[in-house]
Amino acid sequence: MLYPISTDSRVVMDLNGVWKFMIDNEVDVNQPLPTGESMAVPASFNDQAVSAEIRQHCGYVWYEKEFTVAKALFNERLVLRFGSATHEAWVYVNGKFVVHHKGGFTPFEAEINEFLVSGANRLTIRVSNLLDHTTLPVGNYSEKKDENGKIIRKVDENFDFFNYAGLHRPVKIYSTPLNYIDDIVIVPNVDLAAKKADVQVSVKTGGHFDEVRVTILDEQGNTVAQATGTEINAAIENVHLWQPLNAYLYTAKVEGLKNGEVEDVYQEQFGARKVEVKNGKFLINGESFYFKGFGKHEDTFVHGRGLDEAYNVHDIKLMKTMGANSFRTSHYPYSEEMMRLCDQEGIVVIDETPAVGLFASFTFDLSILEKGGEIEDGTWTKLRTTEAHQQVIRELIDRDKNHACVVMWSIANEPASYSKGSYEYFAPLFALARELDPQKRPCTFVNIMLATPKVDKCTDLVDVIALNRYYGWYVQTGDLKTAEEKTRQELLEWQEMYPDKPIMYTEYGADTVAGFHSAFGEPFSEEYQEDYYRMNSKVFDEIPNFVGEQLWNFADFQTKYGIMRVQGNKKGIFTRAREPKMVVRYLSKRWNEIPNLGYKK
């Protein structure tokens, strides 16, 4: 799916702004929404209104906005596009149903010419924030009726972040000619020795062109290669490589011609880089790459999970100042705008599906660490997420396939991979991702702490072992000496079992209250957080195949109510307002001294 951009042949209309809003009631979509409530888009609805009812609302909400299309565009193909709608949406134009989409973190679109009228048009959207055992993320859904017979819905999230919902990403209408470029697939095959890239470009069109022309431009706008056809191979000599923190982007300019005239044109940026997993190392452009960075969230004040490009820019600048080079889109696909920014800034991304909460219940039964053999907790008979999982893998790869920043797909976060039936569930999903990705990137899933080497069933499927571990926090709390021993023991066990697979931490951290200091280094203090990270760093440097540290979390973030969470999760090394905690100085020094490429050769 192509990102909507304006070109010589395309116009983009922005529908962002203030919309009408209403919760829960059944409405007649043939009439204007009967409400005086306002809500900004893109943003979560939860924190905008100073209303506990709206913030905690569980069920359906309505959005509505009027728009006008210029008469000059009525002879063009007009497409209504949503960056996302969390978690399910039904879309109507002038009271007529247009499109339905389930899944809250990937874009969807529909042609709307047949629904439009001259003058004012009315766009109405019904959005659901409900989650259950068929959805991703996973939620525990229940309902009851009050004394008036009204259905009261409840979702108990099977994950540890707030269930922000609404129209989180831009809503746009874009035009194309009736003959149009529908999709572009770019695969740069880099020959490092020859300093050359053979770029395969596949173009899908709608309607009919006499000719399709592909021109590869460098960053100065110079033509470096050109060919015609919908399946072409263009050679770039003396190729400029896309490198971590040193991005170089080429542009594939695709033109559709009819009767010798260009009818449609689209420009897709891409980076030429080579990603491999070999001999226990993660290689970018033939050199060992070391992941330095974060798990993070799309989470800011008032916006909630909604797109905030100022925060995106600020977060990337904070990362780069620290010497970080990467993050994981935990625990769902991030906005297309963030992915495009990472392409430009040279930030390496592990791109993750919203498959979080794939276990029978949101508990942390540590007794499983002492068990071996066959474990059956009912996860893979209780959950029915296969269809949603297949859908999001397809939609994620379709959206992000051309991004240079994406070096690995994460199929899930912390599933019950220790439980009977997990391998049978995941094997077809890994196969699907590998089949769909034209660039054949490595694949992983993020391993929960309960899935130790003795009990995990799915590590054979991965290219990189990605571990979430909390020795010294959830176990051995405050006892960093024992935590160090446990950390080293498990990493050496993984190293021995899988000597050809790289190993990295995708989560490790300790809740820390900004401003709380302790002469004794107590848990929750800033001193303990720094001691915790220093301990982990020491062990990481001892393990030959250890290729990266992505801590949890970049910044404090909002969660549901609970006695374990005071104003959310405090594991951030920055506060939610992006103020640094004490440990940032230590990590900045460490990361700036570790080279991005060539470390641990």
Catalytic center residues? 414, 507
Q: Please, which residues bridge with residue 101 across strands?
A: 89
DSSP element (H, E) containing 445: strand 443-447
Strand intervals (E) in 86-230: 88-93, 96-102, 108-111, 120-128, 139-145, 151-157, 171-176, 180-191, 196-206, 211-217, 223-228
**C-alpha to C-alpha distance for 464 and 296, rounded to whole angstroms:** 20
Nearest to 272 by CA among 354, 349, 189: 189
Asked if the bond preceding 244 is cis, omega within 30° of 0, the reply is: no
Position 423: which residue type? Y
Distance CA 81, CA 434 (A): 27
Are the beta carbons of 506 and 550 closer than 8 angstroms?
A: yes
- Taking the alpha carbons of 392, 397, 403, 407 in that order, is the dihedral positive or negative? positive
Q: Which residue matches tokens 């909630």?
A: 304
Beta strands 88-93 and 38-41 are unpaired
Long-range (24+ apart) CB contacts under 8 A made by 458-462 are 458/415, 458/417, 458/422, 458/423, 458/426, 459/417, 459/497, 459/498, 459/501, 460/423, 461/423, 461/426, 461/427, 461/430, 462/430, 462/501
- Cis peptide bond upstream of 42, omega within 30: yes
In sequence order, what E strands does 381-442 have? 406-413
> Shortest CA distance to 399 belongs to which of 452, 340, 463?
340
Kindly state the tokens that stand for 420.
Answer: 């009977």
Sign of CA dihedral 385, 390, 391, 396: positive
What is the Cβ-side half-sphere exposure of residue 368, based on CA atoms within 13 angstroms?
A: 19
State how far the Cα of 538 lies from the Cα of 590, in Å rounded to an integer. 11
DSSP per residue, 210-221: SEEEEEEE-TTS
Adjacent-strand bridge partners of 569 = 557
Give the H/E segment covering residue 489: helix 480-497
Q: Which value, in Å, is the radius of gyration of the alpha carbons in the chain?
A: 25
Angle between helices 583-593 and 526-540 (to 10 degrees): 20
